[in-house]
Amino acid sequence: MIELVAGKYNYWIYIVLMMIGFYAMIAKENLIKKVIGINIFQAAVFLFYVSMAKVTGGTAPIEWHEAHVYDNPLPHALMLTGIVVSVSTTAVALALIIRIYGAYGTMEEDRILEINEGRDMGDTL
Amino acid sequence: MDSVNNLPVLVVIIPLLSAILTPIIGRIIRSAGWYMTVVATFTVFMMALSLLFSVLDGGAISYSLGGWEPPWGIEYVVDYISGFVMVVVSLLAFIVAVYARRSVELEIAEDKASFFYAAYLLFLTGLMGMTITGDMFNLYVFVEITSLAVYALIAMGKRREALIASFNYLILGTIAGTFILIGVGYLYMATGTLNMADLRRLLPALYNTTLVRTAFAFFTVGLSLKLALFPFHIWLPNAYTQAPSVVSAFVAATATKVGAYVLMRIMFNVFTVRFNMEVIPVTSILLALSSLAIIAGSVIAISQTNIKRMLAYSSIGQIGYIVFGVAIANDTAVTGSIVHIFNHALMKGSLFMVVGAVVYRTGIEDIAGLKGMGKKMPFTMAAFTIGALSMIGVPLTVGFVSKWYLILGALEAHMWYLVPVVLISSLLTAVYFWRVVESIYFHHTDGEESIHCVSSMNEAPAIMTIPAFLLAFFCILFGIAAFLPVSVASTAAKMLLGVV
């Protein structure tokens, strides 16, 4: 049991962080908080990739006469791309929020839904 | 000769470069955006066609990016199914691009038009990339490119509700994308490779590990969100209703289809049919969900008053058909699914373009407002009627062909109880399209209204009606000459399922 918790603590952290982000994305009413949720959610996945690349006793994959074992550099490279995607998503989301705030005067989702329903918009199933 | 060998990468790079150049040149020449988009999409369509023909001649093409051999480098694969889907996507991209000019002039502010075309081309880049790539991480990147472009395109809708529709899609799309990323990570952890062909070779030994099964679950949920399979469809109706007409037509015709294609690739090409049926009963789950989607999409469509929203719900039902064939998982049903990717793109493209033309002329989006439109816009409405007949599945239209193969596939799999699902849904489709066709042709404008509207002909511009009509014509052409798409699709299905 201790082995399962302490030996793989990095994966537990990833799961907990991911759930926090996921919860914020779905349950929070404030749009900015949703975007923060996106960021936590994606950062958790980045941590998962990076910790998967760790080799016990490994060093950075740079040629060095004392090193025999290197960490796997591929997940690191993938996550550079992942971070770019995450930044772009955040940028688009924030740009949308600015426009939403301009159009509705609020960033609370329940408030926006009320405003929309006030003007007949059909069902929102 | 060199450029011919590089065609697989050019179909992705040409729209990407044009997307970068469009806003720059658009700054100097305002109207350049449309011309560049039409030229770029036409080039991509021609390249996709020539790729498909060379696959038909000489079998699958593998392209190593930057000369790095797969499985280490990124591989692009053109085989029967990816060639077919690329032709469908680029054909629709070209036809909708031609149509876009007047509609964009009306619905998008002039200074933003070149950015609109840039996002349109980026969206095409993502779709072509998703289709052609043979690398799991590359797939994720293209999924996100597609999604980001779509968020921007939807947010350009006229009403402020478009912003909310776009934001909600952004939240769900990011969840879907990140789920796919997690799935890729788990598969990489299990096998140490990202190449699809390599994964197919290495995975069978690991089918019983929790890691691989969890990875598959993440892919299925993520992709179901992307392709709006019931009950993951919540983002779709608002997004399609609020987006500009051009975007509705293009996205409805292509985005969810490419999602379905990726689902097929992962289910049958990365994993195998055996895994889907025996290790995890995912085909039964998808069968239940898609049957629900087919019925629910049609039922909800009946009660809609906004025509774009009605078409959006009908899309949910039609996506159900594609997944339905995938879930039956024999080669006849999968043929039906692949053909339906093409057929539904033609039908929905044509229907949304007609609606866009009506909005352009009259601003009407309500079904009740279409009364007497048969006299005012006879050509446009004829295209709509052909599209509607095809959606119902009347013989000699494309809709009939795909339903025929789906029903045959269900019977071959001894699942006769699935046949009523298709038949009932056709009936429901007839109900909700008949409502529209009735008010187009059989309601005379009331005396009160005729004071306001001119009852003489008032067609939309030819540049809008001709593309819509062309797609409607294809609906009949490929309904009669069904062997053309079906022969490619059935070979593709056999290869996917590993029968050949």
Other beta carbons less than 10 A from residue B189's beta carbon: 16
In terms of phi and psi (left: phi > 0; alpha: psi -120 to 50; beta: otherwise), the region of B485 is alpha
Residue among B152, B164, B181 minimizing CB distance to A82 = B181
Q: CA triplet A29, A35, A37: central angle to 5 degrees?
A: 80
Structure tokens given for B202: 């290495």
Could you tell me if B432 and B302 are in contact, meaning their C-beta atoms sit under 8 angstroms apart? yes
DSSP A35-50: HHHHHHHHHHHHHHHH
pLDDT tens figures, A85-101:
999 999 999 999 999 99
Check residue B3 and give its pLDDT. 66
Strand partners for B133: B76
Which structural domain range is residue A76 located in?
2-60+72-118
pLDDT at B451: 44
Specify the residue for token string 């994606």: A42
Please state, rounded to an integer, the average pLDDT across all residues of chain B: 89
Is residue A67 included in any domain, yes or no? no
Domain ranges of chain B: 281-500
Q: What is the pLDDT of residues B161-202, one digit of tens each?
A: 999 999 999 999 999 999 999 999 999 999 989 999 899 888
Residues on chain A touching B178 (C-beta within 8 angstroms): 41-42, 45
**pLDDT, tens digit (0-9, with 9 covering 90-100), for B426-451:** 999 999 998 888 888 887 655 445 44
Alpha carbon distance A75, A68 (integer Å)? 20
- Chain A: closest CA distance from residue B430 (Å): 22
B335 min Cα distance to partner chain A (Å): 32
Mutant choice from B164, B235, B303 vs A, greatest count of A C-beta within 10 A:
B164
ipTM reported for the complex surpasses 0.95: no
Residue A102 domain flag: yes
Residue A19 lies in a domain: yes
* Torsion angle of C-alpha atoms B387, B388, B389, B390, degrees rounded to 10: 50
Radius of gyration of chain A (CA): 21
Burial string for B167-181 (b: 16+ CB within 10 Å, else e) reads bbbbbbbbbbbbbbb
As a whole number of angstroms, the distance between CA B478 and CA A24 comes to 48
Task: In whole angstroms, give the CA distance from residue B333 to residue B321.
Answer: 10
Please tell me the predicted confidence (pLDDT) of residue B147.
94
Split into its structural domains, chain A has a count of 1
CA–CA separation, A42 and A50 (whole Å)? 13
| Shortest CA distance from B307: residue in chain A | A122
Residue A95 lies in a domain: yes
CA distance B366 to B414: 43
What's the CATH number where A22 sits? 1.10.287.3510
| Domain assignment of residue A124, yes or no | no
Lowest mean pLDDT among A56-70, B78-92, B142-156, B277-291: A56-70
Place of tokens 């052409």: B477
Nearest chain A Cα to B72, which residue? A74
Instruction: Give the whole-angstrom CA distance, residue A44 versus residue A56.
Output: 21
Q: Is the pLDDT of residue B454 over 80?
A: no
* Residue A9 C-alpha from the chain's centroid: 19
Place of tokens 């989006």: B365
